[in-house]
């Protein structure tokens, strides 16, 4: 339902599965259902999947940042949404296609079975959805052509572990089916993403969608009357006007000397936080950042009075992830070698596209998503209040302070873009 709240983060990822007009290659790799881990405790599987998700966050970020289409542009996406969509797809993948999905997501197939992964994501999504709906909601949906008959086991696994809803559509009616999908996504993201699907191939037989919506209110909100226009330096000779929020408070800050980056921790009224990272050199931060940094910053951040300035902004991003996922080793699913027989054996299937959109709004009341870590302690006189001003490109992470899971990550090059 729609709420008149100020800060909102959200995002949605989609996997489009269509008919492949070629024969599927028969790889020799066995299905990833290694029985040696069948007795593994759920907690152990959850730990392995959570750890893999954290690594996937930064692997995907570096691939996106290096892509020619996003050079010099804002980056913002939800690694959670992408990994949920691909993990749900892996339920129906077999042999080499399954191996590539597991490998690309960072799952160790000798330690994790598909059942382990399903159970872990069920736990992750259950925990997220136990928070009030005002904070976050996550799930998946499948839109299936009436003439296409998926395996009941595939649909049941998606329903049980990925909280999937199912809908019948007629993909030959391309406009109607696109409107149905877009309407569903718009509802689940409170209207923030209203056109995820542009064009539907009439050969499509199924759309698999993952969505996430998060709204958080700052633990310590900014005073609107202190917000004023200032300049944001996009590049050496490029400056743009922004509405700059300001507060002078005791905040958690950490200065990471090894990568010359100041980190500001802005907690929400929940277990989630936003981390803002202001680097001396953006490329150095992007190349170095990893899950260990988030853990370290959250552990060692210290509170002291700062005069902080954070831009108020709204951005929207859109990605087609085919090339990026190919570079991460997930190649067969896009080709005639795709083996998605776990979805249906009646037709040869292949993935036609993986599309992702995200939006982020930050204002005096809050934002949406989670991030944590305070940064930057400098040995200055206690009578002097240091200034931390995000008036040039910075990175942002929304994380769960308890689990360390990253819901959203991005780079703000131009708040007005």
Tokens of 307: 């005069």
Task: Say whether pLDDT at 95 is over 50.
Answer: yes
Task: Say whether pLDDT at 29 is over 60.
Answer: no
Classify domain 218-312+370-412 by CATH architecture: Roll (2.30)
pLDDT confidence bin for 12, thresholds 50/70/90: very low
Owner of token pair 């210290």: 302
- Cβ(140)–Cβ(212) below 8 Å: no
Q: What is the pLDDT of residue 31?
A: 39
pLDDT 10s digits, 179-213: 998 899 888 888 888 888 887 777 788 888 888 88
Residues of the chain with CATH 3.30.497.10: 9-216+315-361
Average pLDDT over residues 154-164: 94
What percent of the chain stands above pLDDT 70? Answer: 83
Q: What is the pLDDT of residue 41?
A: 58
Pairwise pLDDT comparison (135 vs 100), residue with the higher score:
100
Q: What is the pLDDT of residue 52?
A: 95
Paired sense of beta strands 136-145 and 204-214, if any: antiparallel
Classify domain 9-216+315-361 by CATH architecture: 2-Layer Sandwich (3.30)
Q: What is the pLDDT of residue 132?
A: 52
Task: Say whether pLDDT at 371 is over 80.
Answer: no
What percent of the chain stands above pLDDT 90? Answer: 43
C-alpha 105/C-alpha 116 separation (Å) is 14
Query: 57 forms bridges with which residues in the sheet?
Result: none
Task: Say whether pLDDT at 126 is over 70.
Answer: yes
pLDDT 10s digits, 264-310: 999 988 888 899 999 999 999 999 999 999 999 999 999 999 999 99
pLDDT 10s digits, 50-75: 999 999 999 999 998 988 677 788 99
Mean pLDDT value across the chain: 81
- Per residue, the 3-state secondary structure of 152-176, as one string, reads HHHHHHHHHHHCEEEEEECCCCHHH
Question: How many residues are there in the chain?
Answer: 417
pLDDT 10s digits, 166-175: 999 888 888 8
- The DSSP-derived string for 246-311 is EEEEEEEEEEEGGGTEEEEEEEBSSSEEEEEEEESSHHHHHHH--HHHHHHHHHH-EEEEEEEEEE
pLDDT confidence bin for 233, thresholds 50/70/90: very high
- How far is CA 45 from its chain centroid? 21
What stretch of H or E contains 325? helix 322-327
Q: What is the pLDDT of residue 374?
A: 14
- Cβ(360)–Cβ(417) below 8 Å: no
Residues of the chain with CATH 2.30.39.10: 218-312+370-412
Angle (CA) 82 83 84, round 5°: 90
C-alpha 52/C-alpha 45 separation (Å) is 11
Task: Say whether pLDDT at 358 is over 80.
Answer: yes
Q: Residue 259 carries which DSSP code?
A: G
> Nearest CA to 272 among 380, 182, 368?
368
C-alpha 375/C-alpha 211 separation (Å) is 31
Tokens of 168: 């019948």
pTM of the model: 0.85
| Cβ partners under 8 Å of residue 264, min gap 6 | 251, 252, 253, 275, 276, 277, 278, 306, 308, 310, 373, 374, 375, 376, 388, 390
Q: Residue 200 carries which DSSP code?
A: -
Highest mean pLDDT among 204-213, 247-256, 384-393: 247-256
């Amino acid at each position: 339902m729609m709420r008149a709240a100020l800060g909102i983060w959200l995002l949605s990822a989609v996997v489009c599965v269509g008919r492949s007009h070629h024969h599927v290659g028969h790889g020799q790799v066995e299905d990833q259902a290694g029985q040696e881990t069948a007795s593994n405790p759920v907690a152990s599987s959850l730990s392995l999947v959570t750890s893999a998700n954290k690594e996937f966050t930064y692997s995907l970020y570096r691939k996106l940042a290096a892509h020619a289409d996003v050079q010099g542009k804002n980056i913002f996406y939800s690694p959670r949404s992408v990994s949920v969509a691909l993990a749900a797809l892996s339920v129906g993948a077999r042999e080499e296609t399954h191996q590539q999905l597991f490998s690309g997501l960072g799952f160790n197939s000798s330690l994790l079975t598909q059942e382990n992964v399903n159970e872990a994501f069920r736990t992750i999504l259950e925990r997220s959805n136990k928070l009030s709906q005002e904070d976050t909601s996550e799930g998946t949906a499948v839109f299936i052509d009436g003439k296409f008959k998926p395996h009941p086991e595939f649909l049941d696994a998606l329903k049980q572990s990925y909280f999937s809803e199912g809908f019948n559509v007629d993909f030959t009616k391309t406009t109607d089916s696109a409107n149905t999908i877009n309407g569903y996504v718009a509802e689940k993201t409170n209207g923030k993403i209203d056109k995820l699907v542009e064009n539907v191939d009439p050969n499509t037989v199924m759309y698999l969608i993952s969505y996430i919506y998060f709204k958080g209110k700052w633990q310590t909100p900014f005073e609107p009357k202190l917000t004023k226009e200032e300049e944001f330096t996009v590049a050496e000779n490029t400056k743009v006007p922004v509405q700059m929020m300001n507060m002078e408070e005791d905040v958690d800050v950490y200065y990471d000397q090894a990568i010359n980056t100041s980190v500001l921790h802005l907690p929400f009224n929940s277990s989630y936080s936003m981390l803002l990272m202001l680097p001396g050199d953006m490329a150095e931060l992007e190349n170095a950042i990893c899950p260990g940094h988030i853990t370290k910053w959250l552990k060692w951040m210290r509170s002291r009075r700062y005069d902080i300035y954070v831009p108020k902004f709204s951005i929207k991003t859109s990605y087609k992830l085919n090339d990026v996922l190919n570079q991460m080793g997930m190649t067969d699913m896009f080709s005639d070698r795709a083996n998605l027989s776990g979805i249906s054996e009646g037709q040869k299937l292949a993935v036609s596209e993986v599309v992702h959109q995200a939006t982020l709004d930050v204002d005096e009341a809050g934002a949406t998503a989670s991030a944590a870590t305070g940064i930057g302690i400098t040995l200055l006189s206690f009578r002097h209040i240091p200034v931390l001003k995000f008036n040039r490109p910075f990175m942002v992470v929304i994380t769960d302070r308890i689990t360390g899971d990253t819901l959203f990550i991005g780079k703000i090059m131009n708040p007005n873009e």
